[in-house]
Amino acid sequence: MAAPVLRLFCDRKSHPSRAALLLLKTANIPHEEINLNLFRGEHWKQKELPFRKLPVLTHGNLTIAESTSILRYGGQLPGAEQWYGARNLTEKIKTDEFLDFWQSTLNPVALKFVQNKLMWKLFFRLKA
């Protein structure tokens, strides 16, 4: 019987999606990339997305809907042990601390920056 397929629902415009995709690609973890366009609202129509946001990883019956959890899970799959799984407890805690800091502090600031510097100019056709 074949192993369950690892499927990543993502949009490369989203930096959390790019982080998950980068881990899977650099670790040579076989996966299927399912591209959804956030700007077109394609993520609202997918029943596989529990929170209607990206990225989401499915692996058989398992669905992971948070980017940092996807990174932690992917880091323990065969091929990615050097990134997370084979580390000692102290290194894993420091990695988890950074991932949580990124999710709670850096990610919202980056989104606000993009909104303020790019999106308003696009919406209102302002010059850069």
Residues 6+ apart with CB under 8 A from 77: 6, 27, 29, 85
d(CA 26, CA 39): 27
The string of pLDDT tens digits covering residues 32-86 is 999 999 889 998 998 889 999 999 999 999 999 999 999 999 999 999 888 888 8
- Predicted TM-score (pTM) of this structure: 0.78
Looking at per-residue pLDDT, the higher value among 32 and 106 belongs to: 32
